[in-house]
């Protein structure tokens, strides 16, 4: 093979490698969208046995959201009304197409002093994560009055997500909301 053909082949191979690498490293840039909005009373818990609240795909709550197929993970932030330092319990469930509900994680979020648009709606600045079934962690969630984000990773293959809300009796938020975005 001539030197010219060898160099041309190397250029073509390098170009293909660069283009292929771009396919694997491009991050989906989805907008924030509602996961739950203004929940004021406790959700009836999925318990696995009560009619309409089993883990069966057919009992998936109507407020469950479909996950984009290209998402490998989801970021969630919480906010609520009433006052700073109030808390709320959450559970994140996911479903594969026609599969049972899997508890991804659960925990508590606490509202900080940062408000959404100058109102009495406060962003959560602290999020705890317990009962981790999947990959879950918190970004900037140490009670610093910034916006804490729950990061759910390695979710490829799951098709639906649901955030179950349980407002505790004391130090409770008046309403709880969650927004999500995929990556």
Of the candidates 94, 122, 88, 93, the residue with the CA atom closest to the CA atom of residue 107: 88
User: Tokens 């924030």 correspond to what residue?
Assistant: 32
Q: What is the pLDDT of residue 12?
A: 59
**79 near 112, Cβ under 8 Å?**
no
Sort 10 into a burial class: Cβ within 10 Å, 0-12 / 13-18 / 19+: exposed
Per-residue confidence of the chain (183 residues) as pLDDT tens digits?
Answer: 676 666 666 555 655 554 455 555 556 678 999 999 999 999 999 999 999 999 999 999 999 999 998 899 999 999 999 999 999 999 999 999 999 999 999 999 999 999 998 788 999 999 999 988 889 999 998 899 999 999 999 998 999 999 999 998 877 999 999 999 999
Give the residues across from 33 on adjacent strands.
180
Q: What is the pLDDT of residue 170?
A: 78
Q: What is the pLDDT of residue 10?
A: 58
Task: Tell me the whole-structure pTM to 2 decimals.
Answer: 0.83
Supply the Cα-derived Rg of the chain in whole angstroms: 21
Q: What is the pLDDT of residue 119?
A: 81
């Amino acid at each position: 093979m001539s030197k010219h053909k060898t160099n041309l082949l190397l250029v073509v191979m390098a170009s293909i490698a660069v283009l292929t690498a771009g396919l694997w490293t491009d991050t989906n840039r989805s907008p924030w969208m509602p996961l739950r909005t203004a929940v004021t009373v406790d959700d009836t818990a999925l318990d696995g046995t009560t009619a309409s609240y089993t883990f069966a795909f057919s009992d998936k709550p109507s407020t469950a959201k479909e996950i984009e197929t290209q998402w490998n993970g989801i970021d969630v932030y919480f906010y609520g009304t009433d006052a700073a330092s109030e808390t709320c319990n959450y559970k994140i469930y996911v479903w594969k197409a026609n599969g049972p509900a899997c508890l991804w994680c659960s925990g508590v979020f606490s509202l900080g002093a940062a408000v959404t648009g100058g109102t009495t709606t406060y962003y959560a600045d602290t999020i705890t994560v317990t009962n981790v079934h999947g990959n879950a962690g918190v970004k900037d969630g140490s009670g610093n009055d910034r916006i804490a984000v729950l990061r759910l990773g390695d979710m490829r293959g799951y098709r639906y997500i649901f955030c179950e809300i349980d407002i505790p009796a004391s130090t409770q938020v008046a309403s709880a909301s969650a927004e999500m975005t995929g990556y």
